[in-house]
Amino acid sequence: MRKIETISVRPVNVPLARPIRTAVGHLPAAALVLIDIRSSDGILGSAYLFAYKASMLKPLVATVEAVASEIIGHGADPFPVSQRLELSFRLLGRQGLVALAMSGIDMALWDIAALAQELPLARLLGGVTLPIQAYDSFGIIDIEADRAEIERSIRRGFRGIKIKIGGGAVEDDVARVRAVREIIGSSVALMVDYNQSLDPAEACRRIEQIRAFDLTWVEEPVPAEDLVGHHHVRATTGMRIQTGENWTFPEQMEKAIRAGASDYAMPDVQKIGGVTGWIKAAALAEAAQLPVSSHVFAEASAHLLAVTPTAHWLEWMDKAGPLLQEPLTVAQDGTVTARGPGLGIAWDEKAVARFAA
């Protein structure tokens, strides 16, 4: 039986080519934790986690190492490991950094499983690697400074653009949304993301001011845990609401579905429980007929959307590309196709050393 021999955890801080400004904070770099698991038969599985803040790298590394200590020497099959960790952390609770650690370990174990068969993860899961339509994801834009970059995205083939709004006056939201719609034209999808910055009443007020711009969705207008609030905004405005990137494990997704919190689902692979959690989430979405989009993690998401029956959009926000020997790319038609074998993640060790935190 293949066993877990070692688990390596390394923090890096990678400057973003396009720093992300949101209504609730600014991200100049991608604070990532790299996870490498070596199995007893010599296979190296890799994955990464996004800590959001550089100050969270140290505690996230420590948490991953603590969770990893529970499984070293045990079998490397993902499902039994997931069950073991669920039981091991039931008293403490599976949330916060523990949830991220469990998800990252799960992704690396699935990478090992696919590498052992010399298959892309999507093939191991019973699917095929196929092109997934991607949208280019921006922060809060400066209309003049970012115009050329948005135009470049359209020339690259993207058929969808997302911008972040909120944090200022509603007139600023309207100006940004109007400007982007004028730049991209009527045939390109436009999404907006409030990053949980509003209360339900204010969300309804602001959405009324931007609804004329043919939005594909409004993302997380209110705090993620406010399922009633999301339902209220959805019912009051009639706008299509997107949420899900902050669901922790499929159980929270199920609660959101029951609450009628959104028209779409956007699970985040590092919060939903890794590949194992995503598989369950995809089944829930299919049963509820919810279109599923990904949240960052393009390398893993390209595989997982390929085996998701209600796959919708892949979010393109390249965080790990500078660390990879072969970064994932966007095709001329704005699609992304998963790479293998495994997750298609192989570190450029010189780059890892350069960005070590």
Q: Which residues are catalytic?
A: 164, 295
Q: How far apart are CA 233 and CA 105, in angstroms?
A: 36
Q: How far apart are CA 98 and CA 89, in angstroms?
A: 8
Residue with tokens 């690697």: 129
- DSSP for 154-191 reads HHTT-SEEEEE--SS-HHHHHHHHHHHHHHH-SSSEEE
Closest CA to 244 of 216, 271, 265: 265
Closest CA to 85 of 67, 61, 62: 67
- What DSSP state is assigned to residue 311? B
- What DSSP state is assigned to residue 3? B
What strand order describes the sheet that includes 4-22? 4-22, 25-39, 44-50
190-218 b/e (C-beta count within 10 Å ≥ 16 → b): bbbbbbbbbebebbbebbeebeeeebbbb
User: Which three-class secondary structure state does DSSP give residue 196?
Assistant: coil
Residue with tokens 């009051």: 236
126 burial class (0-12, 13-18, 19+ CB within 10 angstroms)? exposed
- Residues with Cβ within 8 Å of 51's Cβ and at least 6 positions away in sequence, in order, are 11, 31, 32, 33, 57, 60
